[in-house]
């Protein structure tokens, strides 16, 4: 249970036994492909891509012609002032909201998501700030909610020991510190809950993780830990889209930073060619008048 190698294999097993993972083998093969790691090679096909996405609410244009790509192992920061359209874009990426125009692609293939269930089947998971953990259930129960392990036999009894072991291994493999997987989620701190929600998504083999302000309500130390968790997740070749107002954290964690201003992408910046001040200039619109 404390063997990290075992935790990894637990993850692999569960991923393989989950029908939702059937198309994610491409993710694994991308990892093995040597071309992918060569600096000058053509970039990997995005795990998830938005092309020309627009969305209006009545007369309000929440998004206009937005392009976004996230590739395996890439952390993309999505930043912008309040009302810039960040949450609307994340909701479109996971199928919770339908675009008025534009196209989504998964591994280069056009898709239509009618609900988050559709996106989940393609390995896309979203974690909101006010997340969907059941506070009265334990950590292990939350992780296995809807996908419970059962003992073989006619009664299909819940295999609680197995779920506890696998949940503990999953948390440990991501260096998430929770004293017991039998603890009720309602007793955990905000950061621990956020971490459990991320672990759940990773355990179930998501290859794209969408995080809407995961650290907004957290204390500094917890926010740091979620940052480390994002890095861990990306090392597993998961693509991450991180919405955050914490610019130092965005700059530290993200490979690219996409800036929305009144529903349009005004900048798509590589971490090594930008800094916090520059990002703030873009998201306030000051950089537009500067040029
Ligand atoms: N369900 C909705 N109905 C009407 N207007 C909405 C709805 N959701 C978002 N909007 C509007 O769309 C714009 C973008 O909102 P949102 O995506 O929540 O921005 P952000 O997450 O960047 O703060 C805002 O003007 C907001 O008022
Ligand atoms: Mg928002």
Confirm or reject: Cβ of 57 under 6 Å from ligand 1. Answer: yes
Q: What is the pLDDT of residues 106-140, one digit of tens each?
A: 999 999 999 999 999 999 999 887 666 889 999 99
11 pLDDT exceeds 60?
Answer: no
Regarding predicted confidence, which is higher, 204 or 116? 116
How much is the pLDDT for 273? Answer: 95
Q: Which whole-number Å values give the CA distances from 235 to 101, 202, 239, 271, in the listed order?
A: 33, 12, 9, 17
Cβ contacts of 188 within 8 Å, gap of 6 or more: 139, 178, 196
- Burial class from Cβ neighbours inside 10 Å (0-12, 13-18, 19+) for residue 183 reads middle
36 pLDDT exceeds 50?
Answer: no
How much is the pLDDT for 258? Answer: 98
Query: What is this structure's pTM?
Result: 0.83
How much is the pLDDT for 80? Answer: 97
Query: Among the atoms of ligand 1, which is closest to the Cα of residue 243?
Result: 21
How much is the pLDDT for 42? Answer: 57
Distance 168 CA to ligand 1 centre (A): 38
Ordered by where they begin, the domains of the chain are 48-290 (3.40.50.300)
CB atoms within 10 A of CB 35: 10
């Amino acid at each position: 249970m404390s063997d990290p190698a075992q935790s990894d294999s637990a993850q692999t097993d569960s991923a393989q036994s989950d029908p939702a993972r059937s198309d994610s083998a491409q993710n694994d093969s991308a990892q093995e492909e040597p071309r992918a790691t060569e600096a000058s090679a053509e970039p990997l096909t995005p795990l998830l891509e938005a092309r020309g996405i627009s969305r209006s609410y009545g007369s309000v244009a929440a998004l206009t012609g937005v392009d976004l790509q996230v590739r395996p192992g890439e952390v993309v920061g999505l930043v912008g002032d309040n009302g810039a359209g960040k949450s609307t874009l994340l909701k479109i990426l996971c199928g919770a909201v339908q675009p008025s125009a534009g196209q989504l692609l998964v591994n280069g293939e056009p898709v239509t998501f009618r609900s988050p269930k559709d996106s989940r089947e393609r390995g896309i998971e979203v974690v909101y700030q006010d997340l969907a953990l059941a506070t009265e259930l334990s950590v292990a129960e939350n992780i296995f909610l809807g996908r419970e392990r059962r003992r073989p036999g006619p009664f299909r009894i819940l295999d609680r020991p197995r779920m506890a072991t696998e949940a503990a291994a999953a948390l440990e493999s991501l260096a998430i510190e929770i004293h017991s997987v039998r603890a009720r989620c309602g007793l955990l701190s905000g950061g621990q809950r956020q971490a459990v929600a991320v672990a759940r998504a990773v355990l179930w083999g998501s290859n794209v993780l969408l995080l809407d302000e995961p650290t907004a309500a957290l204390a500094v130390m917890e926010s740091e830990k979620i940052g480390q968790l994002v890095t861990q997740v990306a090392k597993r070749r998961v693509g991450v889209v991180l919405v955050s107002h914490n610019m130092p954290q965005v700059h530290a964690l993200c490979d690219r930073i996409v800036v929305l201003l009144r529903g349009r992408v005004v900048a798509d910046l590589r971490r090594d060619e930008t800094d916090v001040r520059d990002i703030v200039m873009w998201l306030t619109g000051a950089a537009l008048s500067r040029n």
